Structure 1
Amino acid sequence: MGPLIQNIIAFTVLGLAILFLIRKFIWKPKKSNSKNCGGDDGCGCH
């Protein structure tokens, strides 16, 4: 492969890895409106 194609692939993979890390560790997802699992509220977590 030519160096141009290798650079495009390398920077694409690097960008995807950085986006993954940002979403995993920095981005705070919106909290859902589900109740805490306290008691028998039918959440199925017990």
Structure 2
Amino acid sequence: MQVSLDGYIEGPNGEFDWPAFDEEMQTFAVDQAADMGGFLFGRKV
């Protein structure tokens, strides 16, 4: 799940559309994660 820093995951009109997570997107996500030095997890209250 991807969420912006302000805690929202929706379009400019409030819509929510599931992304097409195909093999190309999987490769992109794995490549991006491989270059990260760490992950930041949290919750906006």
TM-score (norm 2): 0.34
Larger radius of gyration: 1
> Taking structure 1 as the reference length, what is the TM-score of the superposition?
0.34
Bigger RCO of structures 1 and 2 (CA < 8 A, at least 6 apart): 2
Instruction: Considering fraction of residues, name the structure with more helix.
Output: 1
